Chain A
């Protein structure tokens, strides 16, 4: 573990991203202690102030400090993204390896259902699902988890299939080892690496999806300081108070970029064949 982190930091690209990620994690965990103002309480007399030494990123239409709202939003965006992806990975891996191990018609049915889910572009399905479930941040997270589910199902299934064909599993079977033991000791540990790689590649995308749903009015509802929803409101002030949506968007961009670079780095590290 420590060695891997060292290797990540050595590269200038991933090193920079790793430091950013540590900062982002720190902000997400300690944001209530870090925000100079309340991200929720309104202060109408301070509305739409330009960035300055009192309000680094200015204030919004209700006089709330945008810097504080961005800090508070970190926990929401990153937390929800992690939740959605881990949910998808957990459920998807379970169903997928089950499907690959059992085979027969159950496998057929499950795989066709992933085909159907993959017939929708990610954003369109997430959009329709969260519109159908009703706009809220929990529903947005569920929608993202469902959209990401088929990737993990397929990944786990392919792995489970090829692992159950390996010599060591076959010989374990010949010696009468029980299926449960094989799944626990052989299949799951071998599954873990590709699943972890996929999770690390998906988190950035999930943050983007949450922000996009929020921007379209389908995610978090006011007054929650969610980044996408903030930009959606800030859009009305784009020309005269450019800082309002611009800084918020920059926060999304930097966060997603850090996650994506680290994701690539983890893939190259764990799976040297895939990267370079």
Chain B
């Protein structure tokens, strides 16, 4: 186990170096130079030069990269062009909102995805299998923003059941920040009204975002479950008169879940990406909304800071997933 962790950490360092090179290239070398965004329309050559000097853009590229890298090491993601605040601070402020949304969506996806996938596999080619598969193909095909739009039209505009934007009604004060998760913070504050209000705000964004992930999970669980159901141990068990339900839960599901965990972990990245769209649609004050606002404002340090943070989070999640699979599956230990 220790050796695996060490090897994977070494890999992680290499990958993160690569990530820093890519974001550096995107920010400094590609045509959308940040100076032109800063200088406004028709800048004089002097303005351009002074801005370049201010950001160290007049130095040779390797020197620029080294200073970028050392900044990254110190947790400095640069200064936002729009707000003139450190990007790291802004990112930290928006992080809990995104994490809360993503986690709730993830829980929804797993809680419904795994049982539906198992059901579809066990009842292969039945009517319910077809319905579930159709539902799952829908999930990987629906544009996230359109799914959100349809939900807003129905549950907000038509029925008026759920709020369409934000984390909390404006009249209610946001809870004192302990964890940054409004669901937990309102509970700690003992404010029941605010808690219910927070939940209502969470429903639509979490379902919209979770549906895509759910579809991934259903498809994966169904196919690895089908695989498990055709294995010798399952057939032998059946031939020896063991009950179908017992075999599915005790044997098939356990084996089917291991490949599924890997896929579920990998598709967590799509949740992080999807959060950008979902937060924009539901006006959710998280990192995703922050980055789309930054795109509109051509705020390069903010966009690249977001990209680095998400890549870091994604790489760490994948590492954790690998370790989890390793500890669960004896076959990987050979």
Contact = CB atoms under 8 A, between A and B. Distances in A.
Nearest to A261: B137
A133 to B, nearest CB: 6
Nearest to B34: A132
Interface stretch (A67-75, A187-195, A231-239): A231-239
Contact of A128 (B18, B23, B137): B23
Interface range on chain A (Cβ under 8 Å from partner): 35 or more
Given A132-B27, A215-B145, A121 B273 contact: yes
Contacts of A129: 26
A120 B291 contact: no
A252 interface: yes
Contacts of A231: 143, 145-146, 149
Contacts of B19: 116, 119-120
A269 B27 CA distance: 44
B291 A204 contact: no
A212 B144 contact: yes
B273 A122 contact: yes
B152 A252 contact: no
Contacts of A256: 141-143
A133 B149 CA distance: 29
Contact of A242 (B26, B157, B291): B157
A51 interface: no
A123 B274 contact: yes
Contacts of B272: 121, 124
A256 to B, nearest CB: 4
A103 to B, nearest CB: 19
A276 B225 CA distance: 10
A265 to B, nearest CB: 11
Given A125-B307, A128-B26, A252-B143, A238 B277 contact: no
A98 B14 CA distance: 23
A132 B149 contact: no
A134 B31 contact: yes
A12 to B, nearest CB: 8
Interface in A37-57: none
Given A122-B269, A238-B152, A260-B141, A216 B280 contact: yes
A115 interface: yes
Task: Summarize A's interface: helix, strand, loop or mixed.
Answer: helix
Contacts of A208: 141, 143
Interface stretch (B40-48, B175-183, B310-318): B310-318
B254 interface: no
A218 interface: yes
Contacts of A132: 26-27, 30, 32, 300, 303
B272 to A, nearest CB: 5
A246 to B, nearest CB: 7
B17 to A, nearest CB: 8
B66 interface: no
A276 B223 contact: yes
B15 A119 contact: yes
A18 B109 CA distance: 29
Interface in B227-281: 269-270, 272-274, 276-277, 280
A54 B129 CA distance: 41
A119 B311 contact: yes
Contacts of B273: 121-124, 127
A208 B215 CA distance: 15
Contacts of B80: none
Interface of B: 11, 14-16, 18-19, 21-23, 26-27, 30-32, 124, 130, 133-134, 137-138, 140-146, 149-150, 152-153, 157, 223, 226, 269-270, 272-274, 276-277, 280, 291-292, 295-296, 300, 303-304, 306-307, 310-311, 314-315
Interface of A: 13, 112-113, 115-117, 119-125, 127-129, 131-134, 204-205, 208, 211-212, 215-218, 228, 231, 235, 238-239, 242, 245-246, 249-250, 252-253, 256-257, 259-261, 264, 274-276
7 contacts: A116-B21, A123-B277, A204-B140, A212-B145, A216-B280, A250-B146, A257-B141
- Ranked nearest first, the 4 interchain pairs of A and B with the lowest CB-CB distance are A116-B18, A123-B273, A249-B146, A121-B269
Given A131-B303, A253-B142, 4 more contacts: A123-B273, A125-B307, A215-B277, A245-B146
